[in-house]
């Protein structure tokens, strides 16, 4: 019987190295719908990201980093819990009933990384977009965060103008008047700096979840002036929104340096899913946000921890966003790493103390199996609702998923289908309907009509 769980790794050498240092501060920076190629450290030539590129060069770039879902809320649920979100039925975006229904979102019995780090004495702050529970009982102050500044919904205008109870900026449980806000990306960056400066002597954890570069496309002239070389207007605005994030990360890095705590601060950066369908660049990978092709689930990612991680490293084996939870607990010298976490501690791999792959198997499920994918070593199976077929790729020979080899390798198809069924047997059905499912079905119908017309034209 195939083992659907990943193997966990331990390293006494890494643990002893880290125990020489006090527990590090941890900053988890998440962008929203950013394309894999939309940072300089992954090859972007048009979007200026000097601060992100410099930080990436000071640590380790994960060139093969995956998230656990191709769109926002489920991906964030996996990241924050360290578990496949399908294990607790969270593989859909938050439905419209979320504010009235406290069962829609990450359940309170799930232990978030914020709660685990609180137990280790960390100050915890959530800043930015939440989107894993609209109901007040599921928002950050009830999910292990000492401080919250942000909004609960999946999207928000960049000026902080309220539009309903979940599209309002809160500082803890108090609504922030719109006239006190400026440009949200800048506001979120400044809040992170203020949180760091409040008490730099105690270890802190910041979950900084920018809503940029998610729509709506809104940016200030300051950042737009830095991307005026991009002639395509939509791409120019999108790029400026990313540059605003980059500038904010630079201010945070400067604050850490000024306080003398940069060496003992771990920063992890990634996007919540593949780039949005408009203006983002996921090349050279196939697909985009919402799809289980590489372009929908592979994201820009790096980690820096100057006291421990050497600079200038690139790690090429596949990793998962689910690995960050156990990695954070490991560097915090925690002895309370739960057995049901899906990820692994990345530090032994980062420090060359453990050879091989962190994962043999990785899994993805959308809307209860409407679409799913399995990666086993270099083979990837994708049951695509859009294509109405099950595809198989050899990612070693064909990293850009150009050639479906399912017909030539039925045994591998059967093996990975069984692996998915074994893994999925431990999952729950979706706890609520995905608000985007209707759009997905409409898109599927549109493609069926296009294919039908194409087939008729070929016959004639």
CA 217 centroid distance within chain? 20
Contacts with 412 (C-beta within 8 Å, 6 or more apart), sequence order = 379, 381, 392
How far out from the chain centre does Cα 72 lie?
Answer: 8
The pair of three-digit structure tokens given for residue 15, joined into one six-digit string: 């643990």
Encoded tokens for 163: 């539009």
For residue 250, which phi and psi values (nearest 5 degrees)?
Answer: -65, -40
Strands (E), 116-236: 123-129, 147-151, 170-171, 174-175, 204-209
- Residue length, the chain? 460
Q: Is the Cα dihedral 227, 229, 230, 233 positive or negative?
A: positive
131 flagged as catalytic: yes
Partner residues linked to 174 by β-bridges: 171
Catalytic residue among 90, 131, 135, 288: 131
**Residue of 98, 130, 73 whose CA lies nearest to 272:** 73
What lies within 8 Å, CB to CB, of 294 at 6+ separation is: 274, 282, 285, 286, 287, 395, 399, 400, 401
Q: Which of 420, 417, 400 is nearest to 409 (CA)?
A: 417
Helices (H), 94-167: 113-118
Helix (H) or strand (E) holding 424: helix 410-424
**Of 1, 53, 33, which Cα lies nearest the Cα of 297?**
33
Annotated active-site residue 214? The verdict is no
3-state SS assignment for residue 106: coil
Structural element, H or E, at residue 363: strand 361-366
Residue numbers annotated as active site: 72, 131
């Amino acid at each position: 019987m195939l083992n659907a769980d990943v193997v966990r790794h331990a390293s006494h050498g890494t643990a002893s190295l880290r125990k020489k240092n006090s527990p590090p501060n941890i900053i988890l920076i998440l962008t929203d719908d950013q394309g894999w190629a939309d940072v300089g450290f992954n090859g972007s030539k048009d979007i200026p990201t000097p601060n992100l590129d410099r930080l990436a060069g000071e640590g380790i770039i994960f060139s093969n980093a995956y998230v656990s879902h191709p769109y926002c809320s489920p991906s964030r649920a996996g990241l924050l819990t360290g578990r496949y979100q399908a294990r607790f039925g969270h593989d859909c975006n938050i439905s419209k009933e979320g504010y009235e229904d406290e069962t829609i979102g990450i359940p309170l019995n799930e232990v978030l990384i914020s709660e685990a780090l609180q137990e280790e004495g960390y100050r915890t702050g959530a800043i930015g977009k939440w989107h894993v529970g609209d109901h007040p009982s599921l928002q950050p102050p009830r999910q292990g965060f000492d401080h919250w500044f942000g909004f609960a919904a999946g999207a928000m205008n960049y000026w902080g103008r309220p539009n309903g109870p979940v599209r309002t900026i809160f500082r803890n449980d108090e609504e922030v008047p719109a006239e006190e806000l400026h440009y949200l990306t800048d506001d979120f960056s400044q809040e992170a700096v203020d949180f760091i400066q409040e008490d730099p002597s105690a270890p802190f954890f910041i979950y900084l979840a920018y809503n940029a570069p998610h729509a709506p496309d809104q940016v200030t002239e300051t950042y737009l002036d830095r991307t005026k070389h991009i002639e395509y207007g939509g791409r120019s605005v999108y790029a400026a929104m990313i540059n605003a994030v980059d500038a904010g990360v630079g201010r945070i890095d400067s604050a850490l340096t000024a306080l003398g705590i940069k060496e003992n601060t771990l920063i992890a950066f990634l996007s919540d899913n593949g780039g949005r369908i408009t203006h983002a660049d996921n090349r050279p990978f196939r697909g985009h946000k919402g799809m289980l092709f590489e372009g929908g689930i592979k994201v820009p990612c790096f980690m820096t921890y100057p006291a421990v991680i050497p600079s200038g490293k690139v790690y090429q084996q596949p990793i998962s966003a689910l690995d960050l939870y156990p990695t954070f607990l490991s560097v915090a010298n925690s002895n309370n790493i739960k057995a049901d976490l899906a990820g692994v501690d990345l530090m032994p791999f980062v420090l060359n103390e453990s050879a091989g792959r962190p994962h043999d198997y990785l899994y993805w499920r959308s809307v209860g199996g409407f679409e799913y994918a399995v990666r086993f070593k270099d083979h990837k199976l994708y049951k695509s609702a859009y294509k109405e077929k099950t595809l198989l790729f050899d990612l070693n020979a064909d990293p850009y998923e150009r050639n479906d080899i399912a017909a030539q390798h039925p045994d591998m198809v059967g093996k990975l289908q069984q692996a998915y069924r074994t893994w999925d047997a431990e999952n729950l059905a979706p706890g609520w309907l995905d608000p985007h499912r209707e759009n997905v079905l409409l898109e599927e119908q549109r493609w069926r009509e296009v294919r039908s017309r194409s087939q008729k034209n070929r016959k004639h």
